[in-house]
Structures are given as C-alpha cells and as structure tokens.
Structure 1
Amino acid sequence: MDALSRSRPGGAAALAPPAPSRREAGWPGLPQHVAFGFPAARLEKPAARRPESSLRLLGESGSRRSSAMAALQDFQTFVFLDLETTGLPHDRPRLAELCLFAVHRRSLQCSPLPGTPQLPRIIDKLTLCVDPQKPFTLEAERITGLSNQNLKENRKADFNSGVVDILKGFLCRQMGPVCLVAHNGLGFDFPLLRAELWRVGTDLPPSTGCLDTLPALKELERSPGMSYQLGALFRHFYGHGRKNHDIDRGKEPDKLKRTITARSDTQTLSNI
C-alpha cells in the first residue's frame, strides 16, 4: 500500500486505463470477505453490491463454485506488496517504487506457542525504484523520500519491459499458485500495478490471487474508534515503542502484514 494512500480507502477507478472488461463473480455460501473474478478494467464498486471482498483472482474463476474453493485451498506463496507513487488516487499517480516480500504458506502457519505469531525467516525480497515519468506532489515527496530529481540522479529508468521481466521472474520462482497481499490492495495497489503492466502491453497470470488485508482487519478488529491506517494498526498490535519513520518507510509493515495474514488464515482464508 502506498504511504500516501494509507488513510484513503478508495480511488481505484482513477488508476486503471481502459481495458477489456471482465465479469466480476461472487459465490453464494462463501464467507462475505471472499470473492473471485478480479475485473480487468476498473475496480469500481457497483451501486448495489455484496459486502466488500478481500480475496479475488486476476482472471475469471469459471462458473463452478468448486473451482473457487480449490483456488482458496491451493495458494502456496503469499507475496506482500507495497508501492510508492507520485500522489494519491485522485492525482492519477504513477508507480515510483515496488517492494515485494514472498513467503511460503508453511511459514505462515500457526506458531507452536499459543497466541504468539511465528514470524517467517525464509523470505524472498525484491525492491525496485523507477522513474514515474510524472512529477511527484509535494506531499508524496515528503512522505516517501522519493523525488523526480533523486531518481534521475540515480539513473533510474521508467517502468519498462526490463522491470516486467524482473517482476515476472521473481514471481515465477515462487511455488504457485501465488497470492498477492496488500493493505487496501483492491482499492489502490493492485489496480495501479496492473495499470503499469497494461501500459507496457502485459499483465500478471489470471490465476494470481489478490488478498486485501483492509476488509479482513475491519472484520477481525472492531474496537471502538479503531483506525485501519497501517501505522495505527502497527501501534495497535505492537505498541508505541517504534518510530513513525520505521512504520512509514516500510521497515516494519511486513511484520504487521504477516501477523494479519496469520490471523486471517483461519477467518479470511479458512479454506486454504
């Protein structure tokens, strides 16, 4: 999730360029936070809709519920995704930094000690900075520490076929099927990443899962006055002993997201 968008739960429709639309399908009887059929164009929510879902597939799921259940059960690797961009959704932002942490499902299983999450040791990591080909807003520069100038000074190329090859190579070396995980991912990260991929004429495999921890957290944690911004969630789970810089610059959200996923495994991903 982009640092700028952590307090902005919507805005996906402004991110994605036109593309052939695909039908969004839900499955009666599944938990309300589970749905399939990640739309290929925009992620607008229809006026009359089911409760917001946290898990979708990039491609069509088919017409049989058994196929959906099999997809839920089969994800082997969860890839935690975080993006930095030139602005908020209403700014029609471009991607400036991509960070991926890949964790096999074995490392997300429950800790042998009750109540203690087992934080993974085996993690594949990928971080790429790119020239967004668009000016940063002042707020984006302040929060991310990125700017058009420092990216240019460090000779960073734009989001091109080379980035795509690295990204696909990283994902292909993971045990599949793969599920991307992001906080407010359905509202921001996933459509923005796909928009960048579409600009260079490609996409991720349609079987790629997309898990949004935001609706999962809203279902699991319903404390009065609860804030679902990533920094606030970190403090909620881990206390106030860390600096905001560590939270905002991505040093600790990985740990938080792994904890969320471990807790969501029995509630949000109960069929895996």
Structure 2
Amino acid sequence: MGHSLKGKSSIITGGGSGIGKAISMEFANAGANVFILDYNEETAKNTVEEITSAGGKARFFACDVTKKEQVDKIITEITGESSIDILVNNAGIAHVGNVENTNEEDLDRIYEVNIKGVFNCLKSVIPYMKSAKNGCIINMASIASVVGIQDRFAYSMSKGAVLTMTYSIAKDYIDYGIRCNSIAPARVHTPFVDGFIAKNYPGQEEEMFEKLSKTQPIGRMGSTKEVAKLALYLASDDAAFTTGTNFPIDGGFIKLQG
C-alpha cells in the first residue's frame, strides 16, 4: 500500500512541468484533487489532460506567482469549491553567476519568483489552513540552501530564504495543525537541464550531461519521480509527526562530497 491522499486537495505551483509535473501526477495517482498554478499554459494543460485521462482529478489556473492579487484571486476561487489541504511551493527559476556578474535585474527577478512567489502563496493559503486547523506545506528548497555552490550566488540566496521561511512557518503555525517542511534536491534530470546543456554547451551535450551527473557522489542525477515520491510521503498522514525539517535528496552531495 502506498501513501494515500484520498479526499485531500492540493495546490502545486509550477505543477505543469519538471519536478512540479511529477508531483502533480504522483498526488493525483494517490487520490488527491490537484490544482496546478503555472505560468506556462501549454505544459500545464497537457499535465491536466494526462491526469484526467488516467482517471484523476486536476484543474489548471494560469498564474504568475509574483503577482499577489492574481494569487489571492485564484486561492479565493479554489476555496469556494474545495478545501486546501496541501500547498507545494515548487515554482522557481534558476540563475548562473557570482556576485560580480549578477546584475540588479537578475537579482530582482530571482527574488520576485523564488522568494516573493513563495511568500505570496503562503500569505494567501495560510489563513484557510489556520481556520481549518489543518494543513501541509512543502517548499522546494535546494542543496544550495545549505552548502556553497559555485556560480550560484543569486539562486543560493533565494533558496536559503525558502529554507528559513520553512522553519518560520513550521514554528509559527504548529499550534494550528499546520506542518511545513522543505525538500532540497541536488541536480535532477528535467527538460530544463537538457535545455541548459544544449544552450550553453552545443556539440558537447553528452559529455556535459555525464560530467554534471557525476557531481553527485552516487554517480547520476536524480529523477523527478524520486522527488515526487518524497513529496507524497511528506504530504500524507504517514508524515503527521514531521514538521520544520529540510529533506535533502541529493545522491550524497551534502555529506559525501569531497
């Protein structure tokens, strides 16, 4: 028997592709009603179609998480028809660069999506969970939250903020039955990784993929399904005693590197 989310409703930001899509599919397969908030309409609609074709429940809302009014409007619409049992703050963007070659526009964009976007969703959803005296929040952090990664200045800054927001929410709302944890992946094989390699290393795709895979001591990248399985456990009642914790899923990167 797997972990069950039967009868629960979940909001997943960036749930149309990559890790977010895997979480959406996993949650729907476990019986959850899935609400996908995503900026990319095409990929999100395709994910909803996959879920509903398989007999699951899913709905898509076009959403820019950096816009608080937009987030609030969508959450109000969802709560008009459903409870909100689970929130997965997965939407995020990457950036490569150190402090010298990170410009102000880069920093602002990372802040808007990776920090303010998480804040906007937390701010909007928490009152409903607080009123219900129940809820589970999963924030997508990163190994960059806790260890130094070369040329990831702005990204590391943003994911460090996600980690500490996790601790704050867990502490502030534990008496309201709200659990909050974060997941910290190392490099996971997604379409984004393939696109990044193709753009920055044309003609060297296979070589670079192998090199990036071996940065994890286990010798490969993680899969989106592996991350989704961890999210499923944390969202389920089987993790009812778990809150205020960061969960690395990193192929040994944090503890075994070097």
Q: TM-score, normalized by length of structure 2?
A: 0.29
TM-score by length of 1: 0.28
Higher relative contact order (CA 8 A, sep 6+): 1
